[in-house]
Structure formats: structure tokens, C-alpha cells
Amino acid sequence: MVRRAMRTEGISDGGQTDNAGRGYETRDLSVRASILFGAFLLLAALLVHLVVWVLYVRFGTEAASTDVRQYPLAQVGRPVLPPEPRLQVQPREDLKALRRQEDAILSSYGWVDRNAGVVRIPVDRAMQLTIERGLLSAQDAAAPGSGNTPPPASRSGRLLETARQ
């Protein structure tokens, strides 16, 4: 009852405390309660850290001890090469090799189709022959016996009923 009396002592008839006129509180915060709260908070934080560390260690050793791979794409043993076509490891060198191969083909003689008698000649020689002989016109290409007869202008490539029979 002593505490109750102390609490009601500062209340006046209007329901306001006597401290309202002073502008500050006259009672201080309990130092003991503040220290106990801080100690409890520190102990709780340490306990949480300890529990998390124990779980981390336990699950880490458990995961390391199991050798079963649960995923079908998990790599086991030596890596397997993916199917063709693969990515280029050295694209610049590959491009240089391709260009050397193409240049060798464009600058040398060789058979395209031996059975049909088709050969390839170097580009420089083909350009020189074109200059010497000139370009073939449509009439030159349609010379008798050349096998390259264009269709008459009236048909423009269409087959007529009489030609099909």
C-alpha cells in the first residue's frame, strides 16, 4: 500500500500529475532493470549464434559425408564432352585456319567433279581468262551444240501442252 500511496500522491484533482508543470519526469529509469535487460539481450544473442554455428557445422559434415548425388546433371568423375557442335575454344585461330584453307582452294587448281570433268582454277587465272575471252552473251551461250539453249522468248520458260506430249 505504500507504493500505491506514492503513485496517487502526485495526482491532483484534475487527473494530471504534478510533474506536468515541471517539463520533465522526476523518476529515473531503474538502472538494475536496464542492466538485466541488456545482459538478457546479450545472452540471447550469444545463444542464437551458438545454435546457428552448431547447426552449420552439423549440416556441413553431414553433407560432406554423403556421396550420393541427387541431381542428374551433377558431374561424377571425368567430365564428359557435350555433343557436337561444341563452342569454339580458340575462335581466332579457327578463323585463321579456315581462311588459309579457303585461300588455298581459291589459288590452286583441282577437281570439283572428276566424273563430270569439272575443274577449278585460281581466281586470278579465271579473271585473266575472262578479260582475254570476254563475257559470254545470251546468243553466244545458245550456240548450237553448246547444250545451253535458252527457252524462246514467247514461252519464257513455261512448258506448253504440245511440248509435254
Does this model's pTM top 0.75?
A: no
Whether 165 shows a pLDDT value over 50: the answer reads no
Whether 87 shows a pLDDT value over 50: the answer reads yes
The predicted-structure confidence for 8-18, as pLDDT tens digits, reads as follows: 444 555 555 55
The predicted-structure confidence for 43-60, as pLDDT tens digits, reads as follows: 999 999 999 999 999 988
Mean of the per-residue pLDDT values for the chain? 78
Q: What is d(CA 80, CA 32) in angstroms, rounded to the nearest whole number? A: 68
DSSP single-letter state for residue 146:
S
Q: Is the dihedral of CA 65, 69, 74, 77 positive or negative?
A: positive
Domain boundaries, the chain: 109-135
Contacts of 154 (CB under 8 A, 6+ apart): none
Q: In the chain, what percentage of residues exceed pLDDT 70?
A: 64
